[in-house]
Structure 1
Amino acid sequence: MAPKEITFITGNANKLKEVQMLLAPEASSIEPTFMLVNQELDLDEVQDTDLEEIAMHKCRQAASLVGPNKPVFVEDTALCFDEFNGLPGAYIKWFVKSMGLPKIVKMLEPFENKNAQAVTTIAYADGEGNFHTFQGITRGKIVDSRGPLTFGWDAIFEPLEAQGKTYAEMEKSAKNKISQRGRAFAKFKEHLTN
């Protein structure tokens, strides 16, 4: 039987590459049960602090644009500062784009609490009218930028489990084991393969 085609809505090449790694079939698997393709769509960015609602809104819109009976998913990642009661949260992409990493770090300068959590929410429409969400969370802290600046805010987030390294300083395979994205996609992969 041919693998089911699932569309990932993204135009971000780095994100696509990471997700392909996370959803790759196990070495022991004979045949993949699904095949990942991507499509870039300009989806509405709803203004909300509920991360699941933001992802579900995008997924509903993506499902209607991609067409009926076609499985589709979106992924939304947030960086939530404890000191700011979860902000910037889902707006972190826009903070990085308009301010840059040094100014984001500087926002927390007056505060002792630099703790944060990275949250990835996946919303999936299975092509049969059902919607599902999967979420992964990694705790850490905000630090001065260290490592390559190639992937969003990775250079300023130091996970508690990373032995003093930022995401940007970690090998991809090590990062994927502890990252919020890795955790969310592990749940999603389990759903797809069972």
Structure 2
Amino acid sequence: MAPKQLNFITGNKNKLSTVRAILGDTVDVQSQSLDLVEIQGTIEDISADKCRRAADVIKGPVLVEDTCLCFNALKELPGPYMYAGHTSFKWFFEKLGLEGLNNLLAAYPDKSAQAVCTFAYCEGPGHEPIIFQGRVDGKIVPARGPMNFGWDPIFEYEGQTFAEMNKVEKNKISHSFRALEKLKDWLEES
């Protein structure tokens, strides 16, 4: 059964407004910022564990989100280590920067990548999280466009980097949009 109110675990107002815009009046989305320990593992394992931890703290229904960048030549790495909200992201991204991320693929002819957004929903303590994931296929290119969000200037989709797209255009095709559409369908069916 779908909740009437959902605690989205984020301190990021932009993420909150995006989630509210896409989910519409399907559910009342409130936000709460929590500092949660994050495990290492697969994209899905990290999201599910984080969701369980949040549900235990909140004692009710929660939604968590993680976004990452996966290089196909590197078998989906850096993947979970490039989650925008993951503690390793800041360290990893500060050390490498956009040029360093490009250099990770210098020895490989395959520059294809996936932008991945994973939302995990948990009804509350003791319940198993449900995963909703969106992926966008693209490729890694030298940086183009403004530096508004992490790796957007190097992820190209159909000739434009995410950084070169306006927000409305990006939100119609983004990995976040695709994951939220799945969540919205599930909420409406429940």
Q: Could you state the TM-score of these two structures normalised by the residue count of structure 2?
A: 0.87
Residue identity matched to 2:36: L
CA distance in 1, matches of 2:78, 2:118: 15
Q: Which residues of 2 match residues 25-174 of structure 1 at below 5 A?
A: 25=24, 32-48=25-41, 50-67=42-59, 70-92=60-82, 93=84, 94=89, 95-127=92-124, 129-159=127-157, 162=158, 164-174=159-169
Q: Which residues of 2 match residues 7-22 of structure 1 at below 5 A?
A: 7-22=7-22
Q: Is the 8 A contact 2:26 2:184 kept in 1?
A: no
Q: CA deviation at 1:14?
A: 2.8
Q: CA deviation at 1:51?
A: 1.2
Unaligned runs of 5+ in 1: 26-31
Q: Which moved more, 1:5-14 or 1:182-191?
A: 5-14
CA distance in 1, matches of 2:168, 2:187: 21
CA-to-aligned-CA distance 1:70-111 (integer Å, 9 cap, x gap): 210111112110111110001114222432212111222232
Q: 1:107 to 1:177 in 2, by over 3 A?
A: same
Q: Among residues 181, 185, 191, which one is paired with 2:180 in the alignment?
A: 185
Greater percentage in helix:
2
CA distance in 1, matches of 2:95, 2:17: 25
Q: Could you state the TM-score of these two structures normalised by the residue count of structure 1?
A: 0.85
CA distance in 2, matches of 1:100, 1:12: 22
- Provide the alpha-carbon RMSD of the alignment: 1.7
Q: What secondary structure does 1:117 align onto? A: strand
Q: CA deviation at 1:57?
A: 0.2
Q: What secondary structure does 2:64 align onto? A: strand
Q: CA deviation at 1:130?
A: 4.8
Unaligned runs of 5+ in 2: none
CA distance in 2, matches of 1:152, 1:19: 19
CA distance in 1, matches of 2:4, 2:68: 29
